[in-house]
Amino acid sequence: MAGQRIYFLMFNADGLGGVARTVRNLVSHLSNRHHVEIISLYRKRDAPSYAISPDVKVTYLIDRREGAPDQADAMASDLELTKATDAQLVETFNSLQPGILVSTRPSLHAAVARIAPRHLITVGQDHLNFQTRSADPRVLVMLRESIQRLDCYVVLTKGDAEDYARLVASASTLITAIPNAIPWPVAKTAAPLTSKIVIGAGRLVAQKGFSRLIQAYAPIARTHPEWQLHIYGKGQERRQLAALIMEQEIADQVVLKGHSNEFEDVLANASIYAMSSRFEGFPMVLIEAMSKGVPLVSFDCPRGPAEIIVDGENGRLVPDGDIPAFTQALVDLIEDPELRSRVGAAGLAAARQLEIDNIAARWEALFEQLAATRRAAEVAS
């Protein structure tokens, strides 16, 4: 189906974080065979945070950069878009040629379900998990109403697909799961795993649970002082985490490294990757570590780690919140180089299924299925 028109609707295409990064990775690859455009409701930066193919058109609807003219609109939440944004979207949707429109967060799913014209096949793509979305009853009601009016809803895990299928059981909407792709080629050989460095990475916010990681690592810092924990990222909890490190008296072994523009190299030079999140959608950093052959240790938080890690094979999956068990899982890998090598190699092999060629092919097959269904419905009518 070369030449299909595919539109991705985003809140802020230039932002930091997993949504912007994974969408840009996917659309850049799809643009090799299709006409792809990103429609960004807001523009907040002069330049994008992540690279994108020059073949992808990016259209901004509302300029929120410093010094931009006032457009009399407030930033919308996941519960409500304003009349001004609706007007912008109606005009934009009506101007699009027939194709597939993919929205990327709940408020945008609702807008698409409400106002997208019939000539667009509508797909909602969720980047979080069902448990997190359903924590706010208002969001869950909005999602139930919106999903039933979309042609398809794509989530990151099989577990989420099952939950959403139950939520809209009476609807004809196709519910399916497609994970995110690794943003770079999988390494041909595994990392050497000799550096005596454990790393964690992500925004320094409560969701990522770095306080749990520091607590789990503190006993290791005392019994294995030659090893270090490096935490990459920036965010509002940096001061609290620094204070916790000082309180535990482990500042020589636990280092807040800040943001790195060379994170691929950071992973390749690590020996263990540790993830302490309280919840995730589909944690990209786990598959990125796997792509370098770095063994994983993760809490079994909702949702995603359990669909990436096979405990004892390509990593260790620890009961959520069990800090002593997390410590022991790290110790097992620290003290056994052969175990690290075996687990890392298994992760490297598994990562090949998540390369962008494979993930993009799944999206293309889905788009073809949806287009065929639409053609059949039009013939029948």
Measure the CA–CA gap between 266 and 288, rounded to whole angstroms: 11
Mean pLDDT for each consecutive 10-residue tract of the chain (381 residues)?
Answer: 86 85 94 96 85 93 73 47 79 96 95 95 95 92 96 96 96 96 93 97 96 98 98 96 98 96 95 96 93 97 92 96 98 98 96 95 97 91 76
Q: What is the pLDDT, as a whole number, of residue 78?
A: 53
How many Å apart are CA 190 and CA 280, to the nearest integer? 26
- Backbone phi, psi, residue 35, to 5°: -90, 110
Q: Where are the domains of the chain?
A: 5-181+355-380, 197-354
Q: Closest by alpha carbon to 237, among 274, 207, 280, 200?
A: 207
Domains 5-181+355-380 and 197-354 share a fold: yes
For CA atoms 89, 94, 97, 102, give the dihedral sign. positive
The residues that bridge with 155 in the sheet, in sequence order, are 177
Where helices occur in 168-262 by DSSP H, the ranges are 210-223, 238-247
Q: How many CB atoms lie within 10 A of CB 323?
A: 18
Contact indicator for 146, 171 with CB cutoff of 8 Å: no
Q: Establish whether the linkage from the previous residue to 133 is cis, with ω within 30° of 0.
A: no
* Choices 1.10.150.110, 3.30.750.24, 3.30.70.3040, 3.40.50.2000: CATH for 197-354: 3.40.50.2000
For residue 70, the model assigns a pLDDT of: 45
Q: Which two tokens stand for residue 142?
A: 């909005």
Which pLDDT belongs to residue 282? 87
* β-strands 120-125, 99-103 pairing: parallel
User: Looking at residue 110, what is its pLDDT?
Assistant: 94
* Overall CATH class of domain 5-181+355-380: alpha beta
Contact 285, 201 (CB under 8 A): yes
Measure Cα distances from 173 to 55, 128, 146, 170, 318 in Å.
Answer: 31, 19, 10, 9, 35
Q: What is the pLDDT of residue 77?
A: 57
Rounded Cα–Cα distance for residues 259 and 230 (Å) = 11
Closest CA to 146 of 117, 167, 120, 163: 167
pLDDT at res. 303: 86
- pLDDT value, residue 2: 58
- Of 201, 199, 229, 233, the C-alpha closest to 217 is 229
The set of residues, in sequence order, having a beta carbon less than 8 Å from that of 187 and lying 6+ positions away, is: 268, 291, 292, 293, 348
C-beta atoms surrounding 111 within 10 Å: 22
Return the exposure string of 344-380: e unless at least 16 CB atoms fall within 10 Å of the residue's CB, then b. Answer: bbbbbebbeebbbeebbeebbebbeebbeebeeeeee
